[in-house]
Structure 1
Amino acid sequence: MLREPPLPAPRFLPAGFGGAVVLSVPHSGRDCPAWLASRVEGGARALERLSDPYMDDVVAPLIESGMGAVIAETPRGAIDVNRPLDALDPDVHPGAPPPPPGSKADQGLGLVIARGAGGRKLWREPVEELALAQRIDSAWQPYHSSLAQLIERARIRAGIAVLLDCHSMPPRRRGLPPVVLGDRHGRSAAPWVASIAAGAAMSLGFDVGHNRPYAGGEIARAHGRPKDDVHVLQIEIDRSLYLDRQLRRPGPGLGRIQKLFSVIAADLEKAAQGEAGRLAAE
């Protein structure tokens, strides 16, 4: 079996103040070691195309203000922390059972992404059991452990926790709004969370969708516990709104999208404080 060096660990940024709102940025990782790039058809650029480019820059003002965050450093294509551990594609993992028809893994978007741009094969060689276990131990597990710690600290200090899981989506098809909020149809967050976030976005002139076509992935499923006052809201933003025309680097719209996230976070923080007060009074 092929052994691999460890993948880059996520950044864990504890909160610098006592708020309820914290951040997850799972798909902007761009630390691609040479050994990893050499195993990919198309090298580091092929992995870059699978990312949510520069979402860490979008939320940078919130982090600079002291908001806690976990940010993936490993490229999404190497291991996707927003997929469950059993989302395996036999094209990448020999011996894995066929994934359920229509699932993300069936589409090549499993725990380790199987296909790159244009549906082309991504990995030069299969990612066998030992290598997969090493990727999980060095990147996937630390991400979720750090998130759990970040969320629990927020819940203890504020009485409630709201995790914003921050993503970008390809330039939208006709009819798809530029902002899509996902709460797994109410399973990862109470209704007021999406309502407040939608109101904040609309106040800035954005059309907003809810759960279609993005309802939330493994991060929302694993960490959202509305009955325990832990809410996870996935936020998808049309990346053409903050990147340049080539969708490669931050563009002139970055400031507007940074403001969008800042207003959503501020309005949710205010609402969370009111909700925590209500719960304490019961």
Structure 2
Amino acid sequence: MFAVPHAGRDYSPALLARARVSQKALQGLEDRYADLLVERLIEQAHHVLIARQPRALIDLNRDEREVDLRGIQGAPWSFRGQSSAKLRGGLGLIPERLATTGGLWRDPLPYAALCQHIEQVHRPYHAALAAALDVTRRRYGIALLLDIHSMPPLKATTADTPTPRVVIGDRFGRSATDRLTDLCADVIRRHRLPVAINAPYAGNHILERHGRPERDVHAIQIEFDRSLYLNATMAEPGPGLADVQALLVTLAEHLSRELIDFARPLAAE
């Protein structure tokens, strides 16, 4: 199955009223139009889960406890947050700041609102992911989640090494078997796109939570360079969108065949 957690664009009036920055600034948190990348997969009846709520409201790729309490009003003393590098950089469960704008919000978020966002958005999304993966594993003996993201163009590191246009993450082998990760990389390279694995993006909470290779549930994150499918301003879909859509269709075909081969020995046991 495929999932797109960071492309939501449904900005409510309440969210915009709380922001001290413009909606355009909040859109900087999005994986801009990454949901369009999976349109052909939906047409082909693949299982696809797309989050419609914006990342500015709540980040589905963070743990529920990954909260900066300085941005929360009225949290009980018993609440114990979970620190992380992303949180310290301002990008926790509730994003607090961007390097380009500074702080995002006029006032701290009431603790009751935090609980509401978790109950109404975060938990249902992860419950839907878990249920779909469980059904798939029970039916076929194995399940694979491809978590689709986008990234700003990476900077070149050396003159003789191509800059990655796609980054695959599997938590350094903890969320998926190397066999599936390597197949993803091979298919993408055949489309003449430089690929990196786990650098600089190895995946985060979604892979950590749902990837269980020892239980035959695998999870892989794929980050696409936004310049591959957006226009020159990185604001709207561009001429490369159809190519990335076609790449994902090809990738799904190869992975499906590989998973069938995986499932055969499992079914025979």
State TM-score, norm by structure 2. Answer: 0.92
Q: Counterpart in 2 of 1:16?
A: none
Cα deviations by residue, 1:30-85 (Å, 9 ceiling, x for unpaired): 01111111111223222211100111100110011101111111110110000001
State, as a whole percentage, how many aligned pairs show the same letter: 42
Equivalent of residue 70 in structure 1, options 49, 65, 69: 49
Provide the C-alpha distance between the structure 2 equivalents of 1:98 and 1:58, rounded to a whole number of angstroms. 34
* 1:50 has 2:32 as partner: no
Q: CA offset at residue 91 of structure 1? A: 3.3
Question: Is 1:27 aligned with 2:27?
Answer: no
Q: Is the 8 A contact 2:66 2:81 kept in 1?
A: no
Q: Aligned residue for 2:130?
A: 148
**What is residue 237 of structure 1 aligned with on the other side?**
224
1:92 partnered with 2:79? no
Residue 258 of structure 2: aligned partner? 271
Helix, strand or coil at the partner of 1:82: coil
Aligned-residue offset at 1:135: 0.6
Q: Offset of 1:117 from its aligned partner?
A: 5.0
Match of 1:218 in 2: 205
Contact 2:21 2:101 in 1 (8 A): no
Question: d(CA) in 1 for partners of 2:110 and 2:36?
Answer: 34
Q: Which runs of 5+ in 1 are unaligned?
A: 1-21
The Cα of 1:120 is off from its aligned counterpart by 1.1
Q: State how far apart, in whole Å, the 2-side matches of 1:97 and 1:140 are.
A: 18
Corresponding position of 1:198: 185
Establish whether residue 104 from structure 1 lines up as the match of residue 104 from structure 2.
no
Kindly state the Cα deviation for residue 156 of structure 1 after the two structures are TM-superposed.
2.1
8 Å CA contact retained: 2:65, 2:80? no
Secondary structure of the residue aligned to 1:181 is: strand
1:122-180 CA-partner distances (Å, limit 9, x unpaired): 01110121110011111111110110111112112222111000000011111440111
**Would you say how many aligned residue pairs link Structure 1 and Structure 2?**
260
Q: Which runs of 5+ in 2 are unaligned?
A: 158-162
Tell me whether 1:251 sits opposite 2:238 in the alignment: yes
Partner Cα distance (1:259, 1:171) in 2? 21
Instruction: Indicate the residue corresponding to 1:118 in structure 2.
Output: 100
Residue 99 of structure 1: CA displacement?
6.2
Separation of aligned partners in 2, 1:46 and 1:142: 27
- CA deviation after TM superposition for structure 1 residue 92, in Å: 1.4
The answer (yes or no) to whether the contact 2:37–2:241 under 8 Å persists in 1 is yes
Partner of 1:192, secondary structure, is helix
1:127 aligns with 2:109: yes
User: Which has the larger helix fraction?
Assistant: 2
RMSD after superposition: 1.6
CA contact (8 A) 1:69 1:150 kept: no
Q: Give the Cα separation in 2 of the matches to 1:128 and 1:106.
A: 20
Partner SS for 2:223: strand
Pick aligned residue for 1:60 from 10, 32, 39: 39
Structure 2 CA distance, aligned partners of 1:147 and 1:47? 26
1:228 matched to 2:210: no
Rounded to whole Å, the distance in 2 between the matches of 1:67 and 1:191 is 23
Q: Which amino acid aligns with 1:143?
A: Y
**Distance in 1 between residues matched to 2:117 and 2:146, nearest whole Å:** 25
